Structure 1
Amino acid sequence: MNSQTNVAQFRGLIRLLAKNINFFDKFNASCCGISASQWQVIWEIGSAGEISLTELAALLNLDNSTMSRAINTLVEQGLVQRDADPTDRRYVIIKLTQKGIEFYKEMEETIDHYYKTILQSIPAEKRNQVTESLSLLLKALQENNCC
């Protein structure tokens, strides 16, 4: 197989991987009445516990005004709350409400179950290899950001 064929095959596999993951994210989020982007916001907040609006926007590669609008929607749904930072009132701290925490935990369980099923469908002797390869791929993607 020549280099150009390897690149084309690699690119095709990456596109299929991204497509399948995006489909899963959209499907699960839509079943729960939110968009895939809203799930990403909830996931980042849930993972952090609490986070500033600016930090959250940076993590998701969004500007502060776009992030603020997304947060407003989640506040209206009762999933997220925003508070002024007690040490510096110019900053806004975002965290999940109790309803948001419960939602986050339910989604995490669903997603963990899905990925466990995928992992179990890979032959046991290949699982570590797949995980290592994904780590290498992620590192290469981060080191060679096209933008």
Structure 2
Amino acid sequence: MSNLNQTQLLRESLRTLVRKLGVLDRGEASCCGITLSQSYSIVEIGRAGIISVNLLTEILGVDKSTVSRSVDKLVNNGILVRDTDPEDRRSVTLRLSDKGQAVFEEVEKRSTAYFAEVVADIPDDKRKQIIESLQYLVQALKGSRCC
């Protein structure tokens, strides 16, 4: 297969994958009355425990104003708690409230259940190869120059 054909096949495969995962993500978010972008924030904060706004912005790969708008809504809805970092009064940290923890756990539970079904549909002898290949792809994407 030529490099051009490989490039096109990779591009189309990733486009399909992104669409499929986007539908999944919207479904997970809608279960809990939150938007997709709010879901991403909740998951990252839930996994970190406590996280700075700056680090959340970096992880999500969006601008600070986008994160701030999303965070403001989540704070107003009682899902997040915003604190001033005691070690650096200029830094703001975020953590989940009890309500936010419940939302995080529900999103994670649904995601885990979905991917357990996906893994079950992959032949046993291909699972390790697929996961390893995805890890290589993620590393390649981290190093790529885009947009």
Q: Same fold (TM over 0.5)?
A: yes
Give yes or no for the alignment of 1:81 onto 2:109: no
Aligned residues: 147
Q: Which runs of 4+ in 1 moved over 4 A?
A: none
Amino acid at match of 1:78: G
* Residue 46 (structure 1) aligns with: 46
Q: Counterpart in 2 of 1:146?
A: 146
Task: Identify the residue that residue 70 of structure 1 maps to in structure 2.
Answer: 70
Match of 2:107 in 1: 107
* Structure 1 residues 11-47: Cα deviation after superposition (integer angstroms, max 9, x where no partner): 1101101111111101221222111110000011001
> Aligned residue for 1:11?
11
CA-CA distance at 1:81 after TM superposition: 0.6
Aligned mates of 2:82, 2:19 — CA distance in 1: 33
The within-5 A match list for 1:115-134 is 115-134=115-134
What stretches of structure 1 of length at least 5 have no aligned partner? Answer: none
Q: Write the deviation string for residues 37-79 of structure 1: whole angstroms up to 9, x where unpaired.
A: 1000001100110011111112112332322211110011111
**Higher deviation after alignment, 54-63 or 14-23:** 54-63
Q: Which whole-Å deviations, capped at 9, do the CAs of 1:83-114 have from their partners, x for residues lacking one?
A: 11112221111000011111111111110010
The equivalent residue for 1:34 is 34
Amino acid at match of 1:122: I
- Using the TM superposition, give the Cα deviation of residue 3 of structure 1 relative to its aligned residue in structure 2, in angstroms: 2.8
Instruction: Please state whether the residue corresponding to 1:131 is helix, strand or coil.
Output: helix
The 2-side partners of 1:69 and 1:145 are apart by 28
Aligned partner letter, 2:103: F
Structure 2 residue runs without a partner (length 5+):
none
TM-score (norm 2): 0.94
- Separation in 2 of the partners of 1:38 and 1:3? 38
In structure 2, C-alpha distance between the alignment counterparts of 1:88 and 1:3, rounded to whole Å: 50
| SS across alignment from 1:32 | coil
Aligned to 1:61: 61
2:90 corresponds in structure 1 to 90
- 1:4 and 1:89 mapped to 2: Cα distance? 52
Deviates more, 1:51-60 or 1:127-136: 51-60
TM-score, length basis structure 1:
0.94
- Which amino acid in structure 2 is aligned with residue 134 of structure 1? L
Q: Which has the higher contact order (CA 8 A, sep 6+)?
A: 2
Question: Identity percentage over the alignment?
Answer: 39
- Provide the C-alpha distance between the structure 1 equivalents of 2:21 and 2:73, rounded to a whole number of angstroms: 24
